[in-house]
């Protein structure tokens, strides 16, 4: 048993920048329920092996991420306890100019809030950057040997060590250091910059933005005391700040404010993200969408999470696992097809759902609107149940070789091996 490097690389390449929401955190009781569900599923499962196929870990990661996103959307629509229709009438924030400021509502849906804000962005928050010296990328200015320097951030200090070999070039040394920074998790990213003379430079950028008044920098780089390390740092030049960190600055309802980040919360109601500088004497209005627009936007999120499963199934449609996934999730929508299409959720022949906003508006603005919301909630609950199954037991969709069945009618102990499988990341490649 081992964790496939391919799976890790695929996850980091495809899902590294996935947004994390408050629904990705769980109470102990919720985690216990997930574990108990895994144990229940595997107690009577047969022993089997999986094929040595690089597409299997990718498929498992895809459908588990689909399940996570669907469950987060469904959780956000289930916060309200004020009746069926309230979950789909969750408040949706709107910005008059998303290119300058985007907004999302993070308050409680029960709050009777109708605040509006006017914001003018004067300055965006920026990270600190250190751009090193440009060196001939094909030759080496460094003597072979061992070098070291310290990276000092606002909270920690780290020691970096690297070795220069006789065959190294300036470019390969800079690339070696870039890998060190990018894999160390110290809050500083690195990249190689080229100029028109084919010279390369190492650029360091803090992942954090903004700077408090008590700090002069977000990070400092200092060579070790040896003359060799000092000379190497002089050659690299990455200890010099070329672009200092700065805070965002904006005028909110006539009062000037600042923030360390371009994303911040406003009175526990809105989460705002600044994207650009406002034109002179121009403000962006932050408020709420109308009721029908809120329903349509919340429903679109639910539809998108459903369509995500269909798209994943289509990507793997040449395999048994993709066809099983398509069959399972098409059944979710086809079960409610007539009712869903009557309120504006149009189901295509390929299983994809699109939202007809005019039909939806007619459905939610009639006297019988509670029936429409009842249909939507039935579909939401069916999708939630299916997402739970996928999350706990993704291996059910994978083509596998059955080695032996457990004896029916006999109480079996849970198998840790199967628990690992049902978490979707551990694969047996010894087939």
What is the rounded end-to-end Cα distance, in angstroms, of the chain?
11
| pLDDT beyond 50 at 1 | no
Of the candidates 70, 93, 81, the residue with the CA atom closest to the CA atom of residue 380: 70
Q: What is residue 217's three-state secondary structure?
A: coil
Residue 411 pLDDT: 65
Contact 206, 187 (CB under 8 A): yes
Residue 424 pLDDT: 39
Residue 428 pLDDT: 47
| pLDDT beyond 70 at 412 | no
Q: Which two tokens stand for residue 308?
A: 């995500």
233-276 confidence digits (pLDDT tens)? 999 999 999 999 999 999 999 999 999 999 999 888 889 999 99
Kindly report the average pLDDT of the chain as a whole number.
Answer: 83
Residue 423 pLDDT: 44
Let me know the angle formed at the C-alpha of 288 by 286 and 292, rounded to the nearest 5 degrees.
150
207-231 confidence digits (pLDDT tens)? 999 999 888 999 999 999 889 999 9
pLDDT band (50, 70, 90) for residue 430:
very low
pLDDT band (50, 70, 90) for residue 88:
low
DSSP 8-state secondary structure symbol assigned to residue 366: S
pLDDT band (50, 70, 90) for residue 114:
low
H or E element in which residue 88 lies: helix 84-88
Phi and psi (nearest 5°) for 236? -70, -45
Contact 158, 150 (CB under 8 A): yes
Cα 418 to chain centroid, rounded: 27
Q: Which two tokens stand for residue 407?
A: 């004896």
Based on its alpha-carbon atoms, the radius of gyration of the chain, rounded to whole angstroms, reads: 27
Gap between the Cα atoms of 136 and 201, Å rounded: 9
Cα 259 to chain centroid, rounded: 23
Percentage of residues of the chain with pLDDT beyond 90: 42
| pLDDT beyond 70 at 190 | yes
Q: Is the pTM above the cut of 0.75?
A: no
User: What is the average per-residue pLDDT within 125-154?
Assistant: 94
Residue 2 pLDDT: 40
User: What is the average per-residue pLDDT within 68-87?
Assistant: 69
22-44 confidence digits (pLDDT tens)? 777 778 888 888 878 877 777 76
Of the candidates 364, 341, 363, the residue with the CA atom closest to the CA atom of residue 353: 341
Q: Exposed/middle/buried for 234, CB within 10 Å: 0-12, 13-18, 19+?
A: exposed
| pLDDT beyond 80 at 408 | no
Residue 285 pLDDT: 93
Q: How many beta carbons lie within 10 A of that of residue 60, not counting itself?
A: 25
User: What is the average per-residue pLDDT within 115-140?
Assistant: 94
| pLDDT beyond 80 at 121 | yes
Altogether, the residues listed in the chain come to a count of 431
Q: What is residue 386's three-state secondary structure?
A: helix
- Residue by residue, DSSP assigns 154-188 as SS-EEEEEEEE-TT--HHHHHHHHHHHHHHHTSSE
């Amino acid at each position: 048993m081992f964790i496939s490097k391919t799976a890790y690389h695929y996850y980091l390449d495809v899902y590294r920048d996935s947004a994390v929401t408050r629904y990705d955190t769980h109470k102990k009781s919720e985690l216990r329920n997930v574990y108990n569900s895994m144990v229940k599923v595997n107690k009577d499962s047969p022993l089997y092996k999986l094929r040595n196929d690089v597409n299997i870990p990718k498929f498992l990661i895809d459908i588990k991420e689909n399940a996570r996103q669907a469950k987060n959307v469904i959780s956000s629509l289930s916060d309200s306890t004020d009746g069926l229709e309230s979950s789909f009438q969750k408040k949706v924030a709107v910005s008059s100019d998303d290119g300058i400021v985007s907004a999302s509502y993070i308050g409680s849906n029960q709050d009777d809030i109708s605040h509006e804000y006017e914001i003018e962005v004067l300055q965006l928050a920026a990270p600190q950057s250190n751009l090193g010296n440009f060196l001939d990328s094909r030759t080496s200015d460094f003597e072979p040997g061992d070098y070291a320097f310290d990276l000092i951030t606002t909270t920690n200090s780290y020691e970096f060590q690297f070795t220069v070999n006789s065959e190294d070039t300036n470019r390969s040394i800079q690339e070696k250091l870039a890998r060190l920074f990018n894999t160390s998790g110290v809050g500083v990213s690195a990249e190689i910059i080229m100029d028109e003379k084919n010279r390369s430079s190492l650029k360091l950028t803090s992942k954090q933005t903004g700077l408090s008044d008590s700090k002069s920098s977000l990070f400092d780089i200092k060579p070790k005391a040896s003359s060799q390390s000092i000379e190497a740092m002089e050659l690299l030049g990455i200890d010099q700040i070329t672009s200092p960190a700065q805070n965002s600055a904006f005028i909110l309802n006539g009062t000037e404010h600042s923030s360390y980040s371009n994303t911040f919360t406003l009175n526990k109601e809105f989460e705002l993200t600044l994207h650009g500088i406002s034109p002179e004497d121009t403000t962006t209005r932050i408020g709420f969408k109308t009721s029908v627009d809120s329903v349509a936007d919340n429903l679109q999120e639910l539809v998108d999470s459903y369509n995500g499963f269909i798209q994943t199934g289509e990507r793997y449609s040449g395999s048994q696992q993709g066809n099983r996934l398509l069959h399972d999730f098409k059944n979710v929508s086809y079960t409610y097809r007539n009712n869903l299409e009557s309120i504006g959720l149009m189901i295509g022949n390929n299983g994809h759902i699109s939202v007809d906003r005019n039909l939806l508006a007619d459905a939610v603005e009639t006297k019988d609107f509670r029936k429409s919301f009842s249909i939507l909630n039935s579909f939401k609950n069916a999708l939630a149940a299916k997402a739970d199954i996928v999350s706990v037991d993704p291996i059910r969709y994978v083509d596998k070789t059955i080695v032996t069945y457990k004896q029916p009618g006999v109480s079996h102990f849970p198998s840790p091996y199967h628990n690992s499988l049902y978490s979707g990341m551990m694969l047996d490649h010894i087939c």
